[in-house]
Structure 1
Amino acid sequence: MKQVIVGFQLDEDRHWVARLACGHLQHVRHLPPWQNRPWVLDYQGRASMLGKTLDCIKCQQLAPRDWN
């Protein structure tokens, strides 16, 4: 299920995590060739993704919210 990105935060290992409108968190790593997300590496790149959508696996699993 597609969910809107409303913000970003760092996890305890300093990896970037997207905050989704549904209340779930999703890692957004840049690990070529598996995950090609160069936009996550700087502030402007992350800011350009606000309002865009990601597939939320947690919504599909009916998982509880990660944040309020």
Structure 2
Amino acid sequence: MQQAIIGFHLDDEQHWVADLACGHTQHVRHTPPWQNRPWVMTEQGRKEKLGVMLECKKCDEKDFVDEILC
């Protein structure tokens, strides 16, 4: 399920984490060559991503479990 980015914070290991509108979070690391997200390294880059939609795996898992239980 797509959710909007509403903010960012650093985790205990100093990795950037996106705060999503649903209340969940998702890491947005810049670790080339696996993940190329240089924008996360600057405040301006992060500001430009506010409102961008990300796939929330936790919401997807919840929806899947809800479907099974219904």
**TM-score, length of structure 2 as denominator length:** 0.85
Higher helix share: 2
User: For 1:10-64, what per-residue CA distance to the aligned partner results, in whole angstroms no more than 9, with x for missing partners?
Assistant: 101111000000000100000111111111001000000000011111111118x
Structure with higher Rg: it is 2
Once residues 53 and 34 of structure 2 are traced to their aligned partners in structure 1, the CA distance between those partners, rounded to angstroms, is 19
**TM-score, length of structure 1 as denominator length:** 0.88
Task: Give the number of aligned pairs.
Answer: 63
Q: Percent identity?
A: 62
Superposed CA RMSD:
1.2
The aligned residue for residue 14 of structure 2 is 14
Structure 1 runs of 4+ with >6 Å offset: none
